[in-house]
């Protein structure tokens, strides 16, 4: 049923990603009334040099 696209900075560990998708899947299934198997999550890792906020690249922020 739902497909959730997540964009985040690269650098998370595999364990962090596992915990994240587990928590999001459980919350989505409970909230939407669907099975866990119906929830798809796509993680896109973005380099800080490829993301900007307020006209400044995140790689340039301290």
Known catalytic residues are 2
Q: Would you say 27 and 21 are in contact if contact means Cβ atoms under 8 Å apart?
A: no
Nearest-angstrom CA–CA distance, 40 and 5: 9
Q: Can you read off the two tokens belonging to residue 25?
A: 């899947």
């Amino acid at each position: 049923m739902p497909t959730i696209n997540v964009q985040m900075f690269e650098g998370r560990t595999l364990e962090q990603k596992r915990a994240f998708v587990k928590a999001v899947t459980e919350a989505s299934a409970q909230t939407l009334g669907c099975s866990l198997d119906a929830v798809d999550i796509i993680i896109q890792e973005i380099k800080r040099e490829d993301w900007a906020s307020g006209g400044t690249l995140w790689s340039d922020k301290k």
